[in-house]
Amino acid sequence: MTEDAPDHELMERVVNLCKRRGLVFPSAEIYGGFRSTYDYGPLGVLMLRNVKDAWWRSMVQLRDDVVGLDAAILSSPKIWEASGHLANFTDPLVDCRSCHERWRADKIEGRCPNCGSTDLTEPRAFNLMFKTYAGPVEEDATVAYLRPETAQGMFVNFLNVLQTSRKKPPFGIAQVGKSFRNEITPQNFVFRTREFEQMEMEYFVPPDEADKWFEYWLDERMRWYLDLGIPAERLRLRHHEAGELSHYSAATADVEFLFPWGWDELEGIANRTDYDLKAHAEHSGEKLEYFDQATGERYVPYVIEPAAGATRTMMAFLIAAYGEDEVGGEKRSVLHLHPRLAPHQMAVLPLSKNDALVPLSREVLALLQPLGMCDFDVTQSIGRRYRRQDEVGTPYCVTVDFDSLEDRAVTVRDRDTTEQARVPIDRLAEELRGRLAR
Ligand code: ATP
């Protein structure tokens, strides 16, 4: 695929695979679906969880300067007043006077994508926050909003975390969770939906170190995608022009992925300055600052924020991993997913349905389950079962055959090379642990 030739077929194949193999279903399908919402099926929920875990592992587990948080989705509307979302979190909405479709003006270049008309209304600001009522009375005083980003949870808990975690700048607060935006035109499968999951981290630093840490996080975040298997030629950093910056940002760069329709954003990394802490300090009357006991210095930290989308990133991993090749003269489709991201890490496949193989196969399954998610499949020919596993990215298949009953050894097959190796059951867990840890 090249930049000039968007690969719509690839997109279609990945979307079909997601439906056919239980990764992602259109939501409420028996009722005809519901406006670009999606449900994650048995394999999709595993993979989405793996994407979030891989992020958490890199951002929290492998560091000593970042702690976690899980803030409420429904919270005080005062947060959104202070953060500027009530006033500014808008997209420019236009109506087509010809077919009456509505569009986001900055995405359509003056022409209605539905009917081609250029007779559009003037853009007007449309606020993307979902509004609801907290409690049984529907009146202005009970209006609440579903959070449109997870970030504000970190800012309003800044003092709580500072006091309880004993961290000092530079330190970060990380959160993974659902966010909601009433997008004017949700599109491209799970790329842009109204309900989605974010993985965000606010990294609080001394103001004079902000530029350094901004650069640091650009490198760290690019490396995360590359380490998990996105090819370098499908990934780039794009720095925002001054006119494109959000109201709170001194510098922003997007991590972009080459999607089938072209380059598009996976993650935004921003220097949010002291905008949010100062805004919440002003609106709440609390002092949101750091007091350095060693130097006697008091300051409002600057914030570097890497903000990624979990659902959008899962889609990028699927697109990057999708391949077709030939094995033994037969075509197969395969997801070359990093073992940490694949829905199942292993599959145990008794060679045949013969009852004699069941007890040992179940013993092998129980041995491997603590290492990761393990599928267990006894139906169809072994060749077809290998291809079913390849198609959903299972890195290793473990086959129990009749010789296994004699020599207590099994065959381990590698998804990418299709190479097979005989491994004694005694050493199987150790062998697979090693292979999966790459
Ligand atoms: P866009 O310009 O695409 O609307 P944004 O710049 O407003 O996105 P941010 O506010 O920076 O997005 O959100 C951080 C990340 O959250 C995005 O990079 C993306 O991965 C994810 N994200 C944002 N909106 C959506 C959405 N509607 N559906 C899925 N993921 C989203």
Q: What is the pLDDT of residues 219-237, one digit of tens each?
A: 999 999 999 999 999 999 9
Say if residues 348 and 365 touch (Cβ distance below 8 Å).
yes
Task: Check if 311 has its Cβ closer than 6 Å to any atom of ligand 1.
Answer: yes
Residue positions counted in the chain: 438
DSSP bridge pairs for 204: 171, 303
Q: Report helix angle 358-368 to 425-436, nearest 10.
A: 40
Number of Cβ within 10 Å of residue 16's Cβ equals 10
Number of Cβ within 10 Å of residue 289's Cβ equals 16
Please choose from 37, 198, 201, 276 the residue to mutate so as to test ligand 1's pocket, defined by most ligand atoms within 8 A of CB.
198
Task: Check if 252 has its Cβ closer than 6 Å to any atom of ligand 1.
Answer: no
Please choose from 191, 312, 315 the residue to mutate so as to test ligand 1's pocket, defined by most ligand atoms within 8 A of CB.
312
DSSP output for 111-147 = S-TTT----BPPPEEEE---EEESSS--SGGGEEEB-
Q: What is the pLDDT of residues 335-362, one digit of tens each?
A: 999 999 999 999 999 999 999 999 999 9
Q: What is the pLDDT of residues 367-395, one digit of tens each?
A: 999 999 999 999 999 999 999 999 999 99
Tokens of 52: 């979030």
Identify the band that residue 140 occupies on the pLDDT scale cut at 50, 70 and 90. confident
* Spatial separation of the C-alpha atoms in residues 251 and 236, rounded to whole Å: 17
Identify the band that residue 2 occupies on the pLDDT scale cut at 50, 70 and 90. very low
* Spatial separation of the C-alpha atoms in residues 348 and 376, rounded to whole Å: 5
Please choose from 52, 83, 196 the residue to mutate so as to test ligand 1's pocket, defined by most ligand atoms within 8 A of CB.
196
Residue 361 CA, ligand 1 centroid: distance in Å: 45
Task: Check if 51 has its Cβ closer than 6 Å to any atom of ligand 1.
Answer: no
